Amino acid sequence: MGNEEANRISGRASARGTRIHSLCEAYLRNERCEPDIFDKELFGSISQWLEDIDNIHAIEEPLYSDYLEVAGTVDCIAEFQGKLSVIDFKTSSKPKDRDDIHQYFMQCSAYAVAFEERTSIPIGRLVIIMAVDNDDPRLFIEKRDNWIGGFRKLRLDYKNMKGI
């Protein structure tokens, strides 16, 4: 596959992810959300889990961590099935399992730390809700403390590589 084709496929996947993410955000804000015919099935596949989200603390909120020296925008911080969680919405063209998404857990663990720094409210739970093309959706639930060490190591390795 050439660069042009790879860029086309990547761009299409990115646009789809952005649309599904926007639908999730609108749904959680109780705003009108009507997926187009192309996104209806994908969004519908994860809507069952959107019903499990309550007591929202943040949606698309910029966060930063002095301790970790990182910043980013968290998808959602809310109670998921009754427990405060960092919730991330993902789309995928093929099914993925836990071993394929370590970077998602590390990213969410960093958001949990950043949120705690800003609010003094600890979050120990990470939730990934993944819509998958032509397959069943995936739900992953992990503990922050299982992933923050990996994130800190990755951050340290990057700083060492860049001589920071």
List the CATH number of the domain containing 45. 3.90.320.10
pLDDT for 163: 84
Q: Give residue 8's pLDDT band: very low, low, confident or very high (50, 70, 90).
A: low
**Tally of domains within the chain:** 1
C-alpha to C-alpha distance for 56 and 70, rounded to whole angstroms: 23
> Could you identify the residue written with the tokens 């993410």?
21
**Mean local confidence (pLDDT), 19-28:** 92
C-alpha to C-alpha distance for 74 and 60, rounded to whole angstroms: 5
pLDDT for 17: 84
C-alpha to C-alpha distance for 126 and 105, rounded to whole angstroms: 7
Percent helix, strand and coil across the chain, each to the nearest 5: 45, 30, 25
pLDDT for 39: 87
Q: Give residue 11's pLDDT band: very low, low, confident or very high (50, 70, 90).
A: low
pLDDT for 32: 86
Beta strands in 21-66 (DSSP E): 53-65
Q: State the average pLDDT for the chain.
A: 91
54-67, pLDDT tens digit by residue? 999 999 999 999 99
DSSP-assigned letter for residue 58: E
Structural domain boundaries enclosing 10: 3-162
pLDDT for 36: 83
C-alpha triplet 31, 129, 121: angle, nearest 5°: 80
Q: Output the CA–CA distances (angstroms, integers) from residue 110 to 7, 31, 93, 114, in the order listed.
A: 29, 29, 26, 6
pLDDT for 1: 62
Torsion angle of the four alpha carbons 105, 103, 100, 5, in this order, in degrees rounded to the nearest 10 = 140
- Range from 31-45, 59-73, 78-92 carrying the lowest mean pLDDT: 31-45
